[in-house]
Structure 1
Amino acid sequence: MTTAHGPLLLDCEDVAWFRDQPEAARGAAAALGRRIGLGEHRTAELVLAVAELTTNVTKHSTDASILLRVLRNHAVAGVEVLVVDTGPGMADVPAALRDGVSSIGTLGIGLGAVKRLADRFDIHSVPGVGTVQLARFWPRPLPASVAGEAVVGGITRPISGEDVCGDAWAARTDTGEEAAPAPTAETGSSARPSRVAVDWSVLTASGTRHQATRRGAAEPQHSPRAAGGRSELVRGAAAGPGQGVLVMSCDGLGHGPMAARASQAALQAFRTGSGRTPEQIMEEVHRALRGTRGAAVAVARLEAGGRLLFCGIGNIAAVVVTADSRANLLSHPGIVGSQMRQLRTYEHQVPAGGTLIMHSDGLSERWRPADLATLLHHPPAIIAAGLLRQAGTRRDDASVVIAKAAW
């Protein structure tokens, strides 16, 4: 969706994952609603919806996980609930949303009531595969600045046994203002002055649970496939006219608090930097990560008309998909913040209906466009959660970020 200020983007803080903990999820939802100022009545509606969703998955699904997190833009904060499970799925989603069709033993309000309570509700379900549900709660009345659906969304999950994660993602809109050329990695010159960023985790008094990765440097991705359009190496790539959407995926080396520290430094540099192209942003992130253990990083710039610029260092998979095609984008070996050779930018034309996917090596690359065919018309967060369920591993931190060319 495009607003008066450009494509709708939302900052995201992963707050907590819950498995087989319905009471804890409800308590966390209540605390989170109060913490961000959602209001007493709206917080009660949030808790009621979480209670219904958690009771449903506890009784009727396997390997269910619930994610609660804060979404923000410049003006307002809300709470998003994502529920991901495997099997049995729903054969008739519209029927499940009708009033009076509540699972036996639940609170009885039904998914239809959850849909009415939420400002945004979406569900994707495949029998025998599982279900992904999204419910989003903003203060009432609904602020105009968050009406509609964000064009970028993602999800992060820590390795089993960790509470923090070194994988991270972020998106921002380029203002269209020219920035001074970024110094190269070899020059080592100081960073440009940057805007002041708000540390939302401090304002909400909640610990941000971003995910961290095991491997930062890796062999390059496979060459782009022509099925989804050809990528070309571009020397001195420049931003196109007008606004663009910038997306970053980061995988801090290893996992745990030190990997999370690296990814948070990368996020800060991305959000406050003045770079307009992926190479400029990569230079800013490289300087910010010096003194940390480093990370694998990929940055993409999407523009009106489907032009995509991409620059990647390390083992971040980047793919442009449609329902029947997949084109891999090329990354190069290295560790951002430590061992980063000459940067290379590739230009790609995103086909009509195409979607950009970037994910860490906490997900296998052994997935096909057909696996996502029924997901691609859903919001980015639903696609990300579905892909994480399909290809994620518990042996590493994992992250997925999705950008839909809808502007």
Structure 2
Amino acid sequence: MTSPGSTSMWDCEDVAWFRDQPEAARGAAAALGRRIGLGEQRSSQLVLAVAELAGNIAKHAIDGSLLLRVLRNEATAGVEVLAVDTGPGIADVPAALRDGVSTTGTLGIGLGAVQRLADSFHIHSQPGVGTVQVARFWPRPEPPSAAGESMVGGITRPIGGEQVCGDAWAVRTDTGEQASLRHSESTTRRGTSGSAPDWSALTGRPAAARTTTSSERVSSPRPGTVGRPAAVRAAVAGPGEGVLVMSCDGLGHGPMAARAAQAAVHAFKTGTARTPEQAMEQVHGALRGTRGAAVAIARLEPDGRLLFCGVGNITAALVTNSSRSTLLSHPGITGHQMHQLRTYEHRLPAHGILVMHSDGLSERWTHRDLAGLIHHPPALIAAALMRQAGTRRDDASAVIVKAAL
């Protein structure tokens, strides 16, 4: 297993969902390409790909949505397009990617064109369930920093009819000397009422830190069982570069919930904590005066050790192709009332993932629902899980952490 720092991590900003709005999606893609400097030709290719993906949803799917967002680091910015649908799915994906293959009498060049135009393209389709696709577009020439996949990715979606989301997630790296922010997602979702969204962006600042926490100790659960380990005594961040990940659900929904989530993200990104327990304390202080939130924070070490601290109803689980092991959180509301914090120690399987999601997704999913997905990028896994378990009766978010191999 390699260091987490060996993989790319990105800020996510300017996030907007489009449902049954192909014209708005194309217009928004063109605006994003111009704003981040993709160039005229590359922006045109982005718009063509968005048109193909939106058209496929309209032609083939029972229901579907398209997500646009900017990926950015210190060196460059690009655009990620994520298409999610429920429907018949694709029985033979390699065949569907070949030019001239069509099930609707067209030329059949849509998916093949998207794959050729995008710098990276990932697709998962299951007959009778639907299709998830992720395409990324970088400036030309493609910058070296755009290579590789992030080990952390996620998505958020506001409750139906709302323009802002009270769920959020964020991630930063920690070397022990300087915790450098790599990636976080905007908690704001703009309207998609037929025109390009009113874009907003996140900014982050580096954080430096060194701290430890204390509690009791015992072991992690057996694979495939619900995890009920005792807390870890003197939970200490290990050597090398660790990755801290937060999932947050502001109470309720709408602007006040979004305000709480934004405060949590800011405290997490700029905080000095090295362990989840200490990071939770910093977020707790920042959320006083807000509605409060359910929060879960994990730290992944280079050797696969996972430290976890959760308050409230964020669902967290370790998942492999053959098992799901639930991580224990404690009752409470971050920013209002928390009992004694406890950190739990687990181990992330080499070919497994950590899933954290808000109660905008049902807990009634199993490892079988993610079968065939774990080798895909985290953002694609998060989108597929939201399709499977999400509800439009609440804000929803899912974040996925993979081992860096």
Determine if the TM-score, normalized by the shorter chain, exceeds 0.5.
yes
Per the alignment, residue 7 of structure 2 pairs with 7
Is 1:90 aligned to residue 83 of structure 2?
A: no
Is 1:32 aligned to residue 28 of structure 2?
A: no
Per the alignment, residue 132 of structure 2 pairs with 132
Partner of 1:258: helix, strand, or coil? helix
Partner of 1:226: helix, strand, or coil? coil
Per the alignment, residue 373 of structure 1 pairs with 371
- The 1:164/1:198 distance shift into structure 2, 3 A limit, reads closer
- The 1:199/1:227 distance shift into structure 2, 3 A limit, reads closer
Once residues 134 and 198 of structure 1 are traced to their aligned partners in structure 2, the CA distance between those partners, rounded to angstroms, is 18
* Runs of 4+ with deviation above 3 angstroms: 1-7, 102-109, 197-202, 228-232
Q: Check the 8 A contact 1:22/1:54 in 2, yes or no.
A: yes
- The 1:3/1:40 distance shift into structure 2, 3 A limit, reads farther
- The 1:144/1:257 distance shift into structure 2, 3 A limit, reads same
Once residues 82 and 184 of structure 2 are traced to their aligned partners in structure 1, the CA distance between those partners, rounded to angstroms, is 25
Shift of 1:224: 7.5
For residues 316-352 of structure 1, the C-alpha deviation after alignment (integer angstroms, 9 at most, x for no partner) is 0010010011111110011111112211000001222
Per the alignment, residue 227 of structure 1 pairs with 223
Once residues 107 and 257 of structure 1 are traced to their aligned partners in structure 2, the CA distance between those partners, rounded to angstroms, is 45
Partner of 1:227: helix, strand, or coil? coil
Per the alignment, residue 388 of structure 1 pairs with 386
Per the alignment, residue 188 of structure 1 pairs with none
Where do 1:138-149 residues align within 5 Å?
A: 138-149=138-149
Once residues 164 and 364 of structure 1 are traced to their aligned partners in structure 2, the CA distance between those partners, rounded to angstroms, is 21
Partner of 2:337: helix, strand, or coil? coil
Could you tell me which runs of 5 or more consecutive residues in structure 2 were left unpaired when the two chains were aligned: 189-196, 203-218
- 195, 200, 204: which is aligned to 1:207? 200
- The 1:292/1:4 distance shift into structure 2, 3 A limit, reads closer
- 285, 293, 296: which is aligned to 1:295? 293
Aligned residues, how many? 378
- 330, 333, 349: which is aligned to 1:332? 330
Where do 1:1-400 residues align within 5 Å?
A: 5-13=5-13, 15-102=15-102, 104=104, 109-177=109-177, 206-207=199-200, 225-228=221-224, 231-400=229-398
Once residues 201 and 368 of structure 1 are traced to their aligned partners in structure 2, the CA distance between those partners, rounded to angstroms, is 27
Once residues 145 and 176 of structure 1 are traced to their aligned partners in structure 2, the CA distance between those partners, rounded to angstroms, is 23
Shift of 1:109: 3.8
Letter in 2 for 1:57: I
Shift of 1:13: 2.3
- The 1:355/1:9 distance shift into structure 2, 3 A limit, reads same
Letter in 2 for 1:23: E
Partner of 1:324: helix, strand, or coil? coil
- The 1:101/1:118 distance shift into structure 2, 3 A limit, reads same
- The 1:369/1:329 distance shift into structure 2, 3 A limit, reads same
RMSD: 2.6
Partner of 2:82: helix, strand, or coil? strand
Once residues 143 and 114 of structure 1 are traced to their aligned partners in structure 2, the CA distance between those partners, rounded to angstroms, is 20
For residues 11-45 of structure 1, the C-alpha deviation after alignment (integer angstroms, 9 at most, x for no partner) is 21252111111111101110111112221111111
- The 1:377/1:198 distance shift into structure 2, 3 A limit, reads closer
Shift of 1:61: 0.7
Once residues 184 and 254 of structure 2 are traced to their aligned partners in structure 1, the CA distance between those partners, rounded to angstroms, is 24
- The 1:51/1:335 distance shift into structure 2, 3 A limit, reads same
- The 1:14/1:86 distance shift into structure 2, 3 A limit, reads farther
- The 1:3/1:140 distance shift into structure 2, 3 A limit, reads farther
Once residues 270 and 101 of structure 1 are traced to their aligned partners in structure 2, the CA distance between those partners, rounded to angstroms, is 48
Once residues 103 and 112 of structure 1 are traced to their aligned partners in structure 2, the CA distance between those partners, rounded to angstroms, is 14
Q: Check the 8 A contact 1:224/1:328 in 2, yes or no.
A: no
Shift of 1:107: 8.0
Once residues 5 and 126 of structure 2 are traced to their aligned partners in structure 1, the CA distance between those partners, rounded to angstroms, is 36
Once residues 113 and 392 of structure 1 are traced to their aligned partners in structure 2, the CA distance between those partners, rounded to angstroms, is 30
- Name which of structure 1's ranges 112-121 and 13-22 shifts more when overlaid on structure 2: 13-22
Once residues 54 and 344 of structure 1 are traced to their aligned partners in structure 2, the CA distance between those partners, rounded to angstroms, is 45
TM-score by length of 2: 0.87
